[in-house]
A and B are shown apart, each in its own frame.
Chain A
Amino acid sequence: MLKIENLHARVEGKDILKGLTLTVNAGEVHAIMGPNGAGKSTLGNVLSGRDGYEVTEGSVTFNGVDLLALEPEARAAAGVFLAFQYPVEIPGVNNTYFLRAALNAQRKQRGERELDSMQFLKLVREKLKIMQISDELLHRAVNEGFSGGEKKRNEIFQMAVLEPKLAILDETDSGLDIDALKQVAQGVNALRSAERGFLVITHYQRLLDYIEPDFVHVLADGRIVESGDKTLALKLEEQGYAWVTDKDPVLHGASA
């Protein structure tokens, strides 16, 4: 479904991704782990099309389509969803209104019929129940005055409503206490399906206790330097990132 090949990207003239290759198939959950500054968040931002991230080499295809050629909204319509590490507050834009506009814009771009407000409300109620989120959230402006946990849950709730094919969770666990983490993980797990792929970007293993990955990759200095199953995450937790980076001839040489 998602094919990243030899991806190089730079931010403000600095090379961050230096040849990243990764394939995510429908139904799979991939965890991307790595030390700070490895390029984890850059990957999420490049995939969702944020300005200021320049791809200098390589390709990304999504179900055969060149993802990098699409505008951010077209990527969303194609089924790519980024749960932000720091969701922005948008005062004055009501959460429900925002979500309905987003859903209908996506449906329109896909040539589907737009939902009227009754249909939309029904859908939202359903999802709220699954996500165990109170509908009070809906009446507020997008992320405005939300606690850290509420913002992250709101991201997952949006994901539930928009039903993407590929969900990228960018450090969704950062800033969450254990209860909030569990709630978010529960929400994500409820959305796992054979049709949907996940890319879970995280610094810590603890999120993966709750969202069990099929594959774990270690991202260091802009490339994937190690891949394995979920046991790799446990090993990282025990031995730290130095274990992987030391093993890598390029990185080891560079740091020596």
Chain B
Amino acid sequence: MSEPQRTPFVDSQLEAAAQARLPGSSIGWLQAARRENLDAFAASGLPDTRMEAWKYTALRALGQRHFASGDEQAASRAVDASAFALPGIDGPALVFVNGVFRADLSRIDALPAGLDLQPLSQALQGDAEPLRFALSRHYREGGDVFARLNAALAGDGVVLRVAAGAKIAQPVHLLFIGAPGEVDLAWHVRHVIELGEDAELSLIEHHASSGDQQHLGTQVADIVLRKGARLRQVTLQDAATGSTLVRHDSVQLDAQAQASLYVLELGGALVRHDLHANLAGDRSRLETRGVFVLGGRQHVDTQMAIRHQALNTSSESVWRGVADQRSRGVFRGAIVVAEGADGSDASLSSKNLLLSGQAEIDTKPELEIYADEVKASHGATVGQLDERSLFYLRSRGIPLAEARSMLTAAFCRAVFEPLPEEGLREHLYHQLMAHLPSA
């Protein structure tokens, strides 16, 4: 391996780290973990496209950019959080502006019994020991460069715990607002989420923007579902068109736990989402359903890896992508069935529409199977709208442009159909339609 190039980006972040005043700086193990990850970040620099995990996402341009660390003004920026309210969602909410917790915009006063929800900055002031396992993680995978950066620099985020047996009725809304600032900012949030045995939670992760900006946001989330716990998570990513957003989510499912993860990727200039799910307990079940709708010069890269490690686990993944204009959609969906994980049942579908001669879709479903009592399948397509369906619609009098958007919407909508929260589902449809190319 050759020496990594020191880019303006890496320099700006090292500089930021040197000046950072992060909460929990008196906690020895935390400081050590931050240091280790920072050193690893400095040593590796940004990956290039020869690295498999970054094959389709070049970071050269990002490497030339300079981001200031932390928004000094974040606590006082005028932001109208009500503009991002979601229909039917009026339960607990944590709101962050440029990565900084805003108590004034949040709703955590009357939390239901069994729900512990607080910003990381606050949690670190109390007993940090329960966070030790998650926060002392060292990101060793070569591609996890942003997770390293996040681990070194994140000073805020979400700490959420649901007590064993607690069933939280109201969905919890986590809102991350990017707000325009004087310079381009880098912000980092770190989440630790745990559902106790048989606990139930519906969670909304919402990325939005209060105005045009070109910030870099990173997020690392560790989600653990104890035995029999159930999580439904909806991610609505509608970040500013100029922004860069990198998310790294790890989900662990113990025995009989169930997670349904919905993702709608709409915004951002450069978006990367790593989703690692580990079916660690017998009869755990995972469902992932996602859509990206891209235009302009957007680049959205989803890298999903699902590991079946226990008996009789199942996973089902349904992903759809639409790329128009000069955009590029990248999807990797890997299913790994470990030795001995008999009774695994895994399926994955990645279907994509390429709508423009300047756009590109790269999709790579993978199966890696080390057990034989397995049902595993995947399918992927890249194509266009079906000509026969288009003609059928037109023969009934629907103009071509409208017929196209109807079929494109139908292509994407199917992904969200199982979502039970009707208001939220309609909102996602609405957002999706608004992003579809109109002709």
Contact = CB atoms under 8 A, between A and B. Distances in A.
A and B form one complex: yes
Contacts of B391: 50-51, 72
A93 B388 CA distance: 14
Given A102-B397, A109-B397, A87 B392 contact: yes
Interface stretch (A56-64, A76-84, A184-192, A223-231): A76-84
B410 A76 contact: no
A90 interface: yes
A87 B392 CA distance: 8
Interface in B384-409: 386-389, 391-400, 402-403, 406-407, 409
Given A73-B400, A105-B402, A91 B414 contact: yes
B54 interface: no
A82 B397 contact: no
Contacts of A87: 392
B396 A162 contact: yes
Nearest to B408: A92
Residues of B in contact with A, size category: 20 to 34
Given A51-B387, A91-B414, A92-B413, A105 B399 contact: yes
B414 A101 contact: no
Contacts of A81: 395
Interface in A45-77: 48-51, 71-73, 75-77
Nearest to A90: B389
B139 interface: no
Contacts of B414: 91-92
Interface string B231-252: 0000000000000000000000
Interface in B411-426: 411, 413-414
Contacts of A92: 409-411, 413-414
The residue in A51, A75, A82, A92 that gathers the most chain B C-beta atoms within 10 A of its C-beta is A92
A101 B389 contact: no
Contact of A88 (B386, B397, B411): B386
The residue in A48, A73, A91 that gathers the most chain B C-beta atoms within 10 A of its C-beta is A73
Contact of A102 (B396, B407, B409): B396
Contacts of A98: 393, 396, 406
A76 B400 CA distance: 12
Nearest to A107: B397
The residue in B386, B387, B392, B414 that gathers the most chain A C-beta atoms within 10 A of its C-beta is B392
B154 to A, nearest CB: 39
A88 B395 contact: no
A102 B398 contact: yes
B410 A71 contact: no
Contacts of B407: 90, 93
A76 B394 contact: yes
B393 A102 contact: yes
Contacts of B395: 48-50, 72-73, 75-76, 81-82, 84
A80 B220 CA distance: 58
Interface string B364-401: 00000000000000000000001111011111111110
Contact of B397 (A50, A90, A106): A106
Nearest to A97: B406
Contact of A90 (B392, B399, B400, B402): B392
B3 to A, nearest CB: 52
B433 to A, nearest CB: 12
A124 to B, nearest CB: 14
A205 interface: no
B334 to A, nearest CB: 27
A88 B398 CA distance: 15
A158 interface: yes
Nearest to A109: B397
Contacts of A84: 392, 395
A101 B394 CA distance: 11
The residue in A51, A82, A105 that gathers the most chain B C-beta atoms within 10 A of its C-beta is A105
B406 to A, nearest CB: 6
Nearest to B396: A102
A94 to B, nearest CB: 9
Contacts of B409: 92
A158 B389 contact: no
Contacts of A105: 397-399, 402
Contacts of B411: 92
Given A50-B391, A72-B394, A102-B397, 15 more contacts: A48-B395, A49-B394, A50-B395, A71-B394, A72-B395, A73-B396, A77-B397, A82-B395, A92-B411, A92-B413, A98-B396, A101-B398, A102-B393, A105-B399, A109-B399
Closest 10 CB pairs of A and B: A92-B410, A76-B397, A106-B397, A72-B394, A102-B396, A93-B410, A73-B394, A92-B414, A88-B388, A105-B398
8 contacts: A51-B391, A73-B395, A76-B394, A82-B395, A90-B407, A98-B396, A99-B396, A101-B402
